Amino acid sequence: MKKTLIIANWKMHFNTHQASIYLSRLNRITSIHRNLEVVLAPTFLSLGQLAQEVDPRKFKLAAQNAYFKDEGAYTGEVSFSMLQGIVKYVIIGHSERRIYFNEDLPMIRDKVAAAYRNKLIPILCIGETKAERLANETKRVIHDQLTTALANLTSEEVRTIVIAYEPIWAISTFEGDIAKPQEIQKVIDYISYQISELYGSRVAQDVQIIYGGSVNSSSITSYLALDNCQGSLVGGASLNYEEFANIINKAYLLRK
């Protein structure tokens, strides 16, 4: 049984000093929960520092992004190979990367493959816009994003991937609608179904599907109570260490 994943995506917030203070404060009010894996995703600049300070019994680290080439003349980029020994996870395909930086399906496919090539676990973000949802295109969008991203993987690799369903229409940065648990359940079921069709039911059972989309301490329990929802990717609510600690505690109480 895999641990429930609670992931803090800090996005472009906190300098190195602020990140270190946050970690210290969170560490003081957070216990070791053996049924949870708590993951922090700071900026690249803070990763090296936090890797020296983090208690690995309590927290793991993730990168928010990486480039799919292992090395070369790619000014300003950070490769997956450079992250080995620093992080366990890498977030790939976040809606902000897709929208603001024009990351397309082939690029995300190559990033997922690069993560496995460098022995890192991808947190693959997929989700539809409000317009796509209203046009009843959710399943098509999820199908295309999922099947393309997994195209170059073996079934053994797929077993270990984390898939974060983040409907863009429910993210406060964009449309910011409230996602009802029953709506999320339908998509989680569809994701599991698609993996089962591609790789078999046993692989589908091993894949961790988590939910993200304006999650906070008030809503986390309702989402984690969904069938086959095995964690959450938390954005804005993770910037407050007390709020994030509340999310961790509620997840622990639900799963203990």
pLDDT at 170: 85
What does the pLDDT read at residue 182? 92
Quick check: helix, strand or coil at residue 211? strand
Q: Are 228 and 188 in contact (CB under 8 A)?
A: yes
- The structural domains of the chain, ordered by start, are 4-255 (3.20.20.70)
Whole-number Å distance between alpha carbons of 69 and 64: 16
Catalytic-role residue among 96, 103, 132, 166: 166
Q: Which residue in the list 33, 94, 103, 132 is annotated as catalytic?
A: 94
Q: Note if 166 is an active site residue.
A: yes
Q: 59 pairs with which residues across the strands?
A: 38
Query: Are 156 and 111 contacting, i.e. CB atoms less than 8 angstroms apart?
Result: no
Whole-number pLDDT of residue 173? 59
Residue 255 is predicted with a pLDDT of 87
**pLDDT at residue 214, as a whole number:** 83
pLDDT tens, the chain, 256 aa long: 789 999 999 999 999 999 999 999 999 999 999 999 999 999 999 999 999 999 999 999 999 999 999 999 999 999 999 999 999 999 999 999 999 999 999 999 999 999 999 999 999 999 999 999 999 999 999 999 999 999 999 999 999 999 999 999 887 655 557 788 999 999 999 999 999 999 999 999 999 999 998 899 999 999 999 999 999 999 999 999 999 999 999 999 998 8
CA angle 98, 61, 189 (to 5 degrees): 55
Give the pLDDT score at 176.
59
User: Distance between CA atoms of 79 and 45, rounded to whole angstroms?
Assistant: 14
Cα angle 6, 12, 18 (rounded to 5 degrees) comes to 80
The C-alpha atoms of residue 70 and residue 153 are separated, in whole angstroms, by 18
Task: Mark whether 13 is an active-site residue.
Answer: no
Q: What confidence score (pLDDT) does residue 132 get?
A: 95
Q: How far is CA 74 from the centre of its chain?
A: 25
Q: Are strands 121-126 and 4-9 parallel, antiparallel or unpaired?
A: unpaired
Q: Which amino acid is at 81?
A: S
- Distance, CA of 76 to CA of 42 (rounded, Å): 17
Determine the pLDDT at residue 174: 56
Give 25's DSSP letter. Answer: H
